[in-house]
């Protein structure tokens, strides 16, 4: 066993009765069923402390070797948001002009997406999620990260759930390619931008695509082997 392995007693555990466990699971399922992705945001401000708490929650996610290979850049500066929108729409123009292919564009039609991305300026916050390809020691030498896509994906799920739990709406946006985000956000070369999460309150006239309300039933997304 490695010399630096030092187990400590499990902290913070609450032993709950079975009926409470079932109730909490059902309650959280119902809470997350009320989460909807929107594209029309209100200009109503969101306090920085709320965003800090939600990002801190994302940072609690499990990760390969506990290396926590992620970085979140939270942006409220209107000038920076405008730069991101301009760059993202340039990539979207290429995407919708043919780079995506007919099958992909056909799949997006019921969702109602397009080149214009006003939410990138209207939403009070943009959170850009970066995945760290490798880590850096204090002396500048590299060390390997493990299960980076999986780890960052889990952390992003924590973030989206935390934002919803706080009472906010969010939209995940993945322009392709996204290298412009590295430059605009001033991040180092070993960090790869994964997504932009627009965050705020829904506009009074916010809508959602009808197709987005249709979720696969439990029987289609799961298999139980308990007999």
Q: What is the mean pLDDT of residues 37-63?
A: 97
Nearest-10 crossing angle of helices 48-58, 148-166: 140
Are the beta carbons of 52 and 200 closer than 8 angstroms?
Answer: no
Q: Confidence class of residue 187 from pLDDT cuts 50, 70 and 90?
A: very high
For strands 125-132 and 191-200, give the pairing.
antiparallel
pLDDT at 40: 96
φ, ψ of residue 124 to 5 degrees: the values are -65, -25
φ, ψ of residue 136 to 5 degrees: the values are -125, 130
Helix (H) or strand (E) holding 15: none
> In 3-state terms, what secondary structure has residue 54?
helix
CA 11, chain centre distance (Å): 27
CA separation, residue 64 to residues 2, 74, 143, 202, 213 (Å): 17, 24, 13, 35, 33
Residue 111 CA to residue 209 CA, distance in Å, equals 6
pLDDT at 2: 55
Inside any domain, residue 37: no
pLDDT at 114: 85
Inside any domain, residue 34: no
Q: Confidence class of residue 1 from pLDDT cuts 50, 70 and 90?
A: very low
Q: Confidence class of residue 105 from pLDDT cuts 50, 70 and 90?
A: confident
Domain of 133 in residue numbering reads as: 47-207
Q: Confidence class of residue 3 from pLDDT cuts 50, 70 and 90?
A: low
CATH of the domain at 79: 3.40.109.10
Q: Which residue has the higher pLDDT, 148 or 1?
A: 148
Q: Which residue has the higher pLDDT, 46 or 140?
A: 46
Inside any domain, residue 225: no
Per the prediction, the chain carries an average pLDDT of 95
Inside any domain, residue 42: no
pLDDT at 61: 98
Are the beta carbons of 162 and 216 closer than 8 angstroms?
Answer: no
> In 3-state terms, what secondary structure has residue 194?
strand
Inside any domain, residue 35: no
- The model's pTM: 0.94
Inside any domain, residue 184: yes
User: Could you identify the residue written with the tokens 């920085």?
Assistant: 48
Inside any domain, residue 28: no
Residue 36 CA to residue 107 CA, distance in Å, equals 19
Inside any domain, residue 122: yes
Count the domains in the chain: 1
Residue 31 CA to residue 215 CA, distance in Å, equals 15
């Amino acid at each position: 066993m490695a010399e630096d392995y030092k187990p400590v007693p499990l902290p913070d555990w609450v032993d709950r009765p079975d009926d409470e466990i079932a109730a909490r699971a059902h309650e959280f399922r119902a809470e997350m069923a009320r989460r909807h992705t929107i594209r029309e945001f209100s200009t109503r401000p969101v306090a920085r402390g709320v965003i800090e708490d939600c990002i801190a929650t994302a940072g609690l996610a499990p990760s390969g070797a506990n290396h926590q290979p992620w970085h979140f850049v939270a942006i409220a500066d209107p000038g920076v948001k405008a730069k991101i929108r301009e760059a993202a729409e340039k990539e979207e123009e290429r995407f919708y002009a043919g780079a995506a292919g007919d099958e992909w564009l056909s799949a997006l039609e019921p969702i109602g997406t397009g080149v214009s991305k006003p939410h990138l300026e209207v939403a009070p916050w943009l959170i850009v999620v970066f995945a760290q390809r490798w880590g850096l020691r204090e002396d500048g030498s590299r060390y390997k990260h493990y299960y980076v896509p999986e780890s960052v994906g889990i952390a992003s799920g924590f973030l989206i759930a935390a934002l919803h739990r706080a009472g906010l709406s969010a939209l995940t946006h993945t322009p392709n390619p996204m290298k412009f985000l590295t430059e605009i956000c001033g991040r180092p070369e070993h960090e790869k931008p994964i997504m932009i999460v627009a965050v705020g309150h829904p506009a009074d006239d916010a809508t959602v695509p009808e197709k987005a309300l249709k979720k696969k039933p439990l029987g289609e997304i799961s298999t139980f082997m308990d007999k």
